[in-house]
A and B are shown apart, each in its own frame.
Chain A
């Protein structure tokens, strides 16, 4: 079992985008919990690190946010992926897959 390693930050952005694409509008806690569930022990994540990532994505107009109320009746910001975000996600996913397959091929060569 590999030790939980730190998440590289570009990848975090992709994971957030993907989560939003699947789940639809979510607040920070929701996104963080979903990522944690998916990662489950393989990667460790301080939940708070999501906020700089969300800010980054919002600055790049890949997501947008609106204020709403959370389940426990507190003021919370809900994030939503934009069209540009979807396009970016698709492109990056393709790229990621391509890189991974190349690396795999390299490692398989003996």
Chain B
């Protein structure tokens, strides 16, 4: 009874001291046990000696000593409970026991670990991507950025980005942001041997790096002077990746890099892993706003397209809110500022409202977007790989249950001796957790290897400079650990509960393995049914995607690819102005048309299924704004339609004059879908169309009305489109684009030879002419990014499906094998009583078939639902694809049949005598 209150500090120090001793003791159990042993023995001997002195015989003295001492075992228990951490002790005991158990069955443990490694590894790899896409924190303060947007609430879809003067006004006069950055992107060309290598360049305001809180690895950030529009000071900051490619050249800062015919000096290097404001996509180079005009110059030299022009809306703007400010409050404050701007510059800013929204991690757009897209993709892909893990766990649960029957006796004895059920369940769960831990470690390694392999094999194939980087990440490790724990519970808990409640008497008598005849469909069978259902789902998903990918791969936009070659040139990359660009295009077209083996040649400003896409609003003059349509807007030369093989359905092609002269009257050719939309009940020929100027932008020459002179069939723009989108074609005479894609229709002859000949001709036009693409159209199509994504998804899903099939087949085989061995006695009896081996085989087989049928019956509707989900999410393919829906169940049934047949055959071959002798 130690009452009173010793100073609280002392008690807590003492308590910590006690805890430390206990912790230390955990690691020195054997030594400490030996010490205690010595102490107790000494004590007993002294006690015995005492009694002997009082006249007892040695043996009586020893007995008396033991009596005086008290129960040695109890004392030792109490001592140990005081000494160590009982929980840790119990855990250590469980772990040692588990290790001994697995050592007796190493093969079994190895299989379990392997299956777990596969299941967990798949999830780990999948999560690595999801993590990079959605969760991994962006460097610096990028995650805190909010996007600033401007739109006219009275017009639908009128979000637009900012001109430099507007940005500067907002930046200098706002009371909402701590700092405001502006950025834009451009693909620029860097000469690399024969071709132009495309670089992804970001044009940023001078405060970009400091606002994001990013410290450059070397050199300096941009100065305010360099960030002024029109400054054209040729400096750049390189990405870490480009520095790495140079072999970490110590003199990298100060080197010159040639971009689009400008020589830029590198003044700084960005830190490793910095990819700007978005996840996944990295930039090769950052340049200051002052370089905007030089790099974006399409040769048009229109003052309205200069950065300093208030009507050139070209910069995306984002900022860090002042601390404590909510989005609501920010928007309210911005309303006043927007009104000011509208008042000061009514032409450009009329009706514009400023608003802030969270910035998406993966999208760059003038309108606020959320991360819903990638989130949706992840929400679909993670559960799919989770399904594989679930199948694996079901498999393992089955294996554990099978193994449990071997351990029935051992567990029954432990229960009979008074070990609580909770203790046994804890022991079994510890075993499961250990397996899961080892499986997870292997899975983590496997997952990271898979991810790295995937990235390494994929990045070189990507047509655009995307940065996919694998980095060890705490999130992935935490997630993998979570998968491991969940798996352990999934496969360990149910068997543990089931095993620890056996029928004691039967088990001690070794009768536990006899199943009552009626109960054919036990837990294990249901587990296998579950596996079959899940496998069917995964295989169906994989099959649908693969079919979709095949169809997309084999598709064409609406004209034949055969015999069509593509040569893309980009005059702006070499710094040619409009006159120079036009001249070179004309020259190139002339030379190519004269080449032998060439039937038709024509050029267009964009290619279907390509990455570049331009579309503009179009209305009929005098029509209301909400009846406008947004067709794809393409600039074409004469001969284009002939080259690609689109017949002019009505009217005519562009004349030579329209093709070359800037002053010809504006004409347009539309396609059938656009005709149907804008002219549903009349003949479009001779009618007029207008592309209205963007709000706040002064009307230019191409906002004049155009007359429709021809109609062509529709074509699709994206691989994922089902139907053709409306197109508007204008003549190259009155519109200029630096990038032109020359289509060459061949008239026989080898594609390879013609491509080489084309390259020679283009070189002859100008040996500095940037040739960005030179390949067959089919090749171009095959390298498309969207197609690649679909194919990759298809391959991944097929892989998952195959894995699931394998696991399910193994599960069926395992169960059937077990059943055969369990029913050996019964089979022996049947055989002895006159059954034929074939009958036995049929009996076993039918049993297995029933299980498979139930699994397929459950899995089939689920598979259909999953198919609908996927096709709705990703693209308009036929979710009821009959081939896939028939083939997947058939393959699964066949695999299950094989897995059933093999044990059944074994059952057939049992000799009755042996069977009856087995217990």
In the assembled complex, the Cα of A59 lies from the Cα of B382 at a distance in Å of: 51
Would A91 and B75 count as touching, CB distance under 8 A? no
CB <8 Å contact, A46 and B79: no
Q: Which 8 A-B pairs have the closest CB atoms?
A: A46-B70, A48-B75, A95-B4, A48-B70, A29-B46, A59-B21, A74-B42, A59-B18
Chain B residues near A105: list those with CB within 8 A: none
Binary interface profile of B, 45-87, with partner A (CB < 8 Å = 1, else 0)?
1110110000000000000000011111011001100110000
| Besides A47-B68, A77-B39, A96-B2, 20 new A-B residue pairs in contact (Cβ under 8 A), listed by A number | A8-B1, A10-B1, A13-B2, A27-B39, A27-B42, A47-B70, A48-B69, A48-B72, A48-B75, A52-B75, A52-B82, A59-B18, A59-B21, A59-B82, A60-B14, A71-B46, A75-B42, A77-B35, A91-B6, A95-B2
What are 11 residue pairs bridging A and B, where the CB atoms are less than 8 Å apart in the complex? A27-B39, A27-B43, A46-B70, A47-B43, A47-B70, A48-B70, A61-B14, A70-B42, A70-B46, A72-B45, A72-B46
B41 within 8 A of partner (CB): yes
Q: How far is the CB of A77 from chain B (nearest CB, A)?
A: 5
Report A66-82 residues with CB < 8 Å from chain B CB: 70-72, 74-77
B70/A49 in contact, CB under 8 A: yes
- CB of A55 closer than 8 Å to a CB of B: yes
Chain B 21-52 interface 0/1 with A at a Cβ cutoff of 8 Å (1 = within): 11000000000000110111111011101100
Shortest CB–CB separation between residue B405 and chain A, in angstroms?
42
- Chain B residues, Cβ within 8 Å of A40: none
A51 CA to B77 CA, complexed, in Å: 11
**A56 vs B70: C-alpha distance when bound (angstroms):** 19
Tell me, yes or no, whether A32 is within 8 Å of chain B by CB. Answer: yes
A61 touches B17 (CB 8 A): yes
Return A70 CB to nearest CB of chain B, in Å. 5
B8 within 8 A of partner (CB): no
Any chain B CB within 8 A of the CB of A14? yes
**Chain B nearest CB, measured from A20 CB (Å):** 16
Q: In the complex, how many angstroms separate the beta carbon of A105 from the nearest chain B beta carbon? A: 16
- Give complex CA distance A46, B72 in Å: 10
Chain B positions within 8 Å of A27 at CB level = 39, 42-43
A30 CB → nearest B CB, Å: 8
Cα A4 to Cα B49 with chains together (Å):
25
Tell me, in angstroms, the Cα distance from A58 to B36 when the chains sit together.
Answer: 14
- Which of A51, A55, A71 is close to B40, meaning CB atoms less than 8 Å apart? A51
- Cβ A59 vs Cβ B39 within 8 A: no
Contacts A10-B2, A47-B68, A71-B46 hold; do A28 and B17 have CB atoms under 8 A apart?
no
Task: List residues of chain A with CB within 8 A of the CB of B69.
Answer: 46-48
Q: How far is the CA of A8 from the CA of B47 in the complex (A)?
A: 24
Which residues of chain B come closer than 8 Å to A28, judged between CB atoms? 39, 42-43
- Known contacts A46-B70, A59-B17, A75-B38, A51 near B2 by CB under 8 Å: no
Q: 1/0 per residue A10-37: CB within 8 Å of B?
A: 1101100000000000011100110000
Interface string of B655-678 (1 = CB under 8 A from A): 000000000000000000000000
Cα–Cα, bound, A29→B50 (Å)? 11
Q: Is B3 an interface residue (CB 8 A)?
A: yes
Q: How far is the CA of A14 from the CA of B2 in the complex (A)?
A: 9
Task: Give Cα distance in the complex from A7 to B6, angstroms.
Answer: 23
Q: Which of B45, B68, B72, B82 contacts A56 (CB 8 A)?
A: B82
The chain B residue with its CB closest to the CB of A99 is B3
A30 CA to B1 CA, complexed, in Å: 24
Task: Assess whether B2 is in contact with A47, with CB atoms less than 8 Å apart.
Answer: no
CB-contacts of A52-110 with B (<8 A): 52, 55-56, 58-61, 70-72, 74-77, 88, 91-92, 95-96, 98-99
Q: CA A102 – CA B21 in complex, angstroms? A: 37
Q: How far is the CB of B251 from chain A (nearest CB, A)?
A: 63
Assess whether A55 is in contact with B42, with CB atoms less than 8 Å apart. no
| Chain B positions near chain A (C-beta within 8 angstroms) | 1-4, 6, 14, 17-18, 21-22, 35-36, 38-43, 45-47, 49-50, 68-72, 74-75, 78-79, 82-83
B43 and A29 contacting across the interface, CB-CB below 8 Å:
yes
Contact at B18–A60, with CB atoms within 8 Å?
yes
Residue of A nearest to B18 (CB): A59
Contacts across chains A and B counted by CB atoms under 8 Å: 95
How far is B71's CA from A48's CA once the two chains are assembled, in angstroms?
8
The answer to whether A11 touches B78, judged by C-beta atoms less than 8 angstroms apart, is: no
- Complex CA gap A106/B49 in Å reads 47
| Residues in B whose Cβ lies below 8 Å from that of A72 | 42, 45-46, 49
Q: Please name all residues of chain B whose beta carbon is closer than 8 Å to the beta carbon of A92 when the two chains form the complex.
A: 2, 4
Q: Is A76 a contact partner of B42 (Cβ separation < 8 A)?
A: yes
Residues of B within 8 A of A96 (CB): 1-3
B68: chain A residues at CB < 8 Å are: 46-47
**Alpha-carbon distance between A88 and B14 when the two chains are bound, in angstroms:** 12
Which A residue sits closest to B39, measured CB to CB? A77
B71 contacts across to A, CB distance below 8 A = 46, 48
- The complex places the Cα of A31 from the Cα of B42 at a distance, in Å, of 13
Rounded to whole angstroms, the CA-CA distance of A29 and B47 in the bound complex is 8
Distance in angstroms between the alpha carbons of A49 and B69 in the assembled complex: 8
Closest to B1 in A: A10
Q: Which of chain A's residues has its CB closest to B75's CB?
A: A48
CB distance from B13 to the nearest CB of A (A): 9
Q: Which of B4, B17, B22 contacts A91 (CB 8 A)?
A: B4
Q: How far is the CA of A95 from the CA of B4 in the complex (A)?
A: 6
Nearest B residue (CB) for A46: B70
Among A59, A71, A72, A74, the one with the most B-chain Cβ atoms within 10 Å of its Cβ is A59
- A68 CB, min distance to chain B CBs, angstroms: 11
Contacts of A58 in B (CB 8 A): 21
- Tell me the nearest residue of chain B to A88, going by C-beta: B6
Instruction: Give min CB distance, B281 to chain A, whole Å.
Output: 59
CA A105 – CA B39 in complex, angstroms? 44
CB nearest to B72 among chain A residues? A48
Q: Which residues of B contact A70 (CB under 8 A)?
A: 42, 46
Contact B43 A55 (CB under 8 A): no
Min CB–CB distance B2 → chain A (angstroms) = 5
Closest to B83 in A: A55
Distance in Å: Cβ of A47 to nearest Cβ of chain B: 5
Chain A residues with CB under 8 Å of B40's CB are 48, 51
A95 to B39, CA, bound (A): 33
Minimum distance in angstroms from A25 CB to a CB of chain B = 15
A95 near B18 with CB under 8 A, answer no
Closest residue of chain B to A69, judged by CB? B42
Given A48-B71, A75-B42, A77-B39: A59 and B1 interface contact (C-beta under 8 Å): no
- Provide the bound-state CA to CA distance between A58 and B50, in Å: 27
Q: Tell me the nearest residue of chain B to A74, going by C-beta.
A: B42
CA distance A27 to B75 in the complex (A): 17
Partner of B3, one of A13, A49, A51, A95: A95
Alpha-carbon separation in the docked complex, A49 to B38 (Å): 16
Give complex CA distance A56, B2 in Å: 14
Contact between B3 and A74, CB atoms less than 8 A apart: no
- CB-defined contacts of B50 to chain A, threshold 8 Å: 33
CB atoms of B41 and A74 under 8 A apart: yes
Chain B residues in 8 Å Cβ range of A52: 75, 78-79, 82
**Pick the contact of B17 from A10, A46, A60, A76 — CB < 8 Å?**
A60
Chain A residues with CB under 8 Å of B72's CB are 48
**Nearest chain A CB to B15 CB, angstrom units:** 9
Q: Are A11 and B42 in contact (CB under 8 A)?
A: no
In the bound assembly, the distance between CA atoms of A36 and B390 in angstroms comes to 64
A47 and B64 alpha carbons, distance in the complex (Å): 12
Partner of A32, one of B2, B14, B43, B49: B43
Alpha-carbon distance between A27 and B39 when the two chains are bound, in angstroms = 9
